[in-house]
Chains A and B, each alone.
Chain A
Amino acid sequence: MRRIVVAVMSTISGLVLLFSYHTSTNQLGETEAASVQSRSAASAPADPPVTSDDTAGDTSSDSSSGTLASGTFTGDSVATRWGPVQVEITVKNGKITKSEAIVYPTENHRDVEINDNALPILSDETIQAQSAQIDFVSGATVTSDGYTQSLQSAIDQAFQ
């Protein structure tokens, strides 16, 4: 939940993160990124309680942090190196259900290609990924110590 809240904040404040992080001058800069843990960093537009529906779709150990107001939010238009970008997101029951670039660069082929391909992964995809029959887990390098408890270890054991 906390991660998604921060993601929404990022998205609302413009898809600047997507294209040109360097131009970000609002509260979404690196300082906020460093304080993902803090409650204030994830201050959503409103603060209703987390519904049970939210926690079901989010396996995060901490489900008590901030949540999102439902509705459609349009971010500020942000100038990027490839042209202006403006994003609209839809939040329902505390989750981003839709994320759409309503203004985006169309000047040349390459920009369109980048824009079509480089889009935020929605929470829906994450939820689907939980139930996929994956063969491997790719993550920051697993050490010998951490392996025993890992999802990869469980997959390996199934075939030994």
Chain B
Amino acid sequence: MIEAVPPPPRRAVVEQIMGMPVGVHVRGDGARGTDVEAAIQLGLAGLREADAVFSTWRSDSAIERLRRGELTVTQCSPEVAAVIELCDAARERTAGWFEYLIDDGSGTRLIDPTGLVKGWAVERALTAVVVALEGQGATGLDVAVNAGGDVAVHRAAVDGRSWLAGIEDPADRSRILATVELASGGIATSGSAARGAHIVNPFTGERVARGGSVTVYGPSLMWADVFATAAFAYGDGGLEWLADRPGFRSEGYGAVVVTAAGLTLRLAPSCTPLPPVL
């Protein structure tokens, strides 16, 4: 493929964190310098820290200790209270289709902010890398953090090159269904193609076993992820449901929905997303 402008230098580092591949990409002149590596590592370290606090797979995490009653929220690091507040906001914004208090099977509702923490932590890692690079005087570098297919991106120049995300076909994961250009913000896809039925309908407690997927993109990865997961749980009609979420249209979110029957629908953003505040 011939491009009029040669692609800029780019550096990628991939590590396994939170049980998934996390890739940090830095793009632009100087992207392959040694200082860039340090900034990337700072972002990855932030993700490992978030995992240590919020992982429900690690018995020593603050969340697990909270679940066992060994800690109260106020005894945890302030991030825990901040995330719980965001979870409450997410539940409200999705009319209950996002839920973080999960029945453990015996009627006890345990805190599980996993569905929100990933986007939150990835956005925070992106900010850490961007700030570190700027602190080094390395302005003009684009940064992206990709955690298992949910991506937060930053574009340094207003008129710079966008990031191009491909949305995979849930029925054939080697195939790209559509592409989305992103300047700064995030894109997240929810479905059952990779991990099977793992998204739970909060109103029935049952796992959502249908096919298809929901991709949401816009100014915030965390909210894109919350919207996508909630809409997948909601099921057929998810596209119009998303359009009705408070802020979804006005803040510039868009969606690509693959229905269970295999029809792909796009809801284009109604305005240009504002860049996130770093």
Partners in one complex: yes
- B109 at the binding interface (Cβ < 8 Å): no
Inter-chain contacts of A117 with B (CB < 8 A)? 266-268, 270
* B contact residues around A3 at 8 Å (CB): 169, 171-172, 262
Residue B58 lies at the interface, judged by CB distance under 8 Å to chain A: no
B20 proximity list for chain A (CB < 8 A): 141-144, 147
Assembly CA distance A100 to B259 (angstroms): 18
Task: Give the chain B neighbours of A46 by CB distance below 8 A.
Answer: none
Q: Cβ of B239 and Cβ of A18 under 8 Å apart?
A: yes
CB < 8 Å: which of A9, A143, A152 contacts B146? A152
B4-32: which have CB < 8 Å to A?
Answer: 7, 10-14, 16, 19-21, 23, 25
A-facing residues in B213-271 (Cβ within 8 Å): 213, 215, 217, 235-237, 239-240, 243, 256, 259-268, 270
Nearest A residue to B225 by beta-carbon distance? A141
Choose from A32, A119, A130, A150 the contact partner of B176 (Cβ within 8 Å): A130
Contact-residue size bin, chain A (C-beta under 8 Å from the other chain): 35 or more
A137 touching B265, Cβ below 8 Å:
no
Q: How far is the CA of A133 from the CA of B3 in the complex (A)?
A: 10
For A22, what are the chain B residues with a Cβ–Cβ distance below 8 Å?
236-237
Which residue from chain B places its CB closest to the CB of A118 in the assembled complex? B267
Q: Mark A24-46, 1 if CB is under 8 A from B, else 0.
A: 10001010111010000000000
**Nearest residue in A to B23 (C-beta to C-beta)?**
A156
Chain B 116-160 residues near chain A, CB threshold 8 A: 144, 146, 148-151
Cα A129 to Cα B177 with chains together (Å): 6
Give A1-18 interface residues, CB cut-off 8 Å to B.
Answer: 2-4, 6-7, 9-11, 17-18
Closest A residue, CB atoms, query B147: A141
A64 at the interface (CB under 8 A from B): no
Whether A18 and B265, one on each chain, are in contact in the complex, defined by CB atoms closer than 8 angstroms, is yes
Is A52 engaged at the interface, CB distance under 8 Å to the other chain? no
CA distance A54 to B235 in the complex (A): 30
How far is it, in angstroms, between the C-alpha of A60 and the C-alpha of B170 when the chains are bound? 11
Residue pair A60, B213 in contact (C-beta under 8 Å): no
Residues of B within 8 A of A28 (CB): 261
B90 within 8 A of A: no
Given A3-B171, A121-B256 in contact, is the A137-B266 Cβ separation under 8 Å?
A: no
Interface residue count on the B side (C-beta < 8 Å): 71
- Tell me the bound Cα distance from A58 to B267 in angstroms: 24
Task: Provide a sorted-by-A list of 9 A–B residue pairs whose CB atoms are within 8 angstroms.
Answer: A33-B262, A118-B239, A125-B178, A129-B167, A137-B165, A139-B149, A141-B150, A142-B20, A151-B168
Residues of A within 8 A of B188 (CB): 138
Q: How far is the CA of A120 from the CA of B265 in the complex (A)?
A: 4
A138→B189 contact, CB < 8 A: yes
Residue of chain A at shortest CB distance from B256: A121
User: Which residue of B195, B217, B263, B268 is within 8 Å of A17 (Cβ)?
Assistant: B263
Task: Give CA–CA (A153, B22) in the complex, Å.
Answer: 11
Kindly supply a per-residue 1/0 record for chain A positions 107-141, scoring 1 wherever the CB is within 8 Å of any chain B CB and 0 otherwise. Answer: 00000011001111100011011111111111111
- Whether B189 contacts A139 by the Cβ 8 Å rule is yes
Identity of the chain A residue whose Cβ is nearest the Cβ of B199 in the assembled complex: A140
Min CB–CB distance A150 → chain B (angstroms): 8
A143 in contact with B165 (CB, 8 Å): no
CA distance A21 to B189 in the complex (A): 21
